[in-house]
Amino acid sequence: MQIPLEDFYEDIVGKAMRGLGVGESQLAAKTGVDPDTLRRLCRGEFSDETALAKVARALDLDPGALLVSASKAWRPRPVSVDGLTLYNTPYRDMRVNAFLIADPHSGAAAVFDTGTDSSPILAEIENEGLRLEAIFITHTHNDHIADLDRLRVGTGRAVPVFANRLEPWEGAESFDEGKKFAVGGLTIETRTTSGHSIGGTTYVVTGLERPVAVVGDAMFAGSMGGGMISHADALGNNREKILTLPDETVLCPGHGPLTTVGEEKRCNPFFPEFKG
């Protein structure tokens, strides 16, 4: 199944406007774009490249990358990693991801978030003879932990659950940023990437054929989660703690398809400084 992009260009513009506290009238005055043209652009009716470029610059977005998004000319190249499985389940009018990561050598495994139905995860664990050792929560928004209670006991024993101390959850063990976990031959490093949520966490996994980062709603392919707590923190954490990872690092977002650090540095409108 090809998972669609989470955000269209108008979603990117809307997130930037909300994050910067800029309304349509202010944006029209700042850019000189005709208010009616701007109104239609903000609603997804793209027809004016010059206006879009002015809007991008006013919102600190990369004009070229935003144009590519508006033209629907990009999606990340398909990527797969032995030991990494994505599960995409429906939640209201959207879909949400969860991830199973297993050490191919030992069969030890960890799950990151739950989605709304953990049945396929539990089935794969049983079918492949894996040993689920831990469940890691990227953040506690309901779509990401909707099936946590069933998943934690679904293998016939209670599996420990871990959450950032800044965003605790009942029954989960708390950790501070920088905590490292071992799952078989895999190492899982924790980085606080708050902004979308107060304790949003990225889990950097090494020990597979290439590094993997489970980023929750910190970043999406070609976009990012809305900075519901702090737009500035969301941008800063993404720049400093995710986009500084090696370009080949596979990014596992909470919504939308897999991507890589290299793809996002080249194509994500929110980060013009990497376009060179």
For residue range 161-188, list pLDDT tens digits in order: 999 999 999 999 999 999 999 999 999 9
pLDDT of residue 201: 98
Specify the CATH superfamily of domain 84-274: Ribonuclease Z/Hydroxyacylglutathione hydrolase-like (3.60.15.10)
**How far is it, in rounded angstroms, from Cα 254 to Cα 20?**
23
Mean pLDDT confidence for 218-233:
96
Which tokens in the block code for residue 188?
């899982």
Specify the CATH superfamily of domain 9-70: lambda repressor-like DNA-binding domains (1.10.260.40)
pLDDT in tens, 84-130: 999 999 999 999 999 999 999 999 999 999 999 999 999 999 999 99
pLDDT reading at 206 higher than 90 = yes
pLDDT of residue 148: 98
Mean pLDDT confidence for 16-41:
97
pLDDT of residue 275: 85
Task: Considering the chain, tell me which residue range(s) the CATH 3.60.15.10 domain(s) occupy.
Answer: 84-274
* Average pLDDT taken over every residue of the chain: 97
Mean pLDDT confidence for 44-53:
96
The model scores a pTM over 0.95: yes
Task: Considering the chain, tell me which residue range(s) the CATH 1.10.260.40 domain(s) occupy.
Answer: 9-70
Contact residues for 223 (Cβ-Cβ < 8 A; gap 6+)? 5, 6, 7, 11, 12, 15, 69, 256, 268, 269, 270
pLDDT reading at 276 higher than 90 = no
Mean pLDDT confidence for 248-262:
98
Residue type (1 letter), 23: G
pLDDT of residue 104: 95
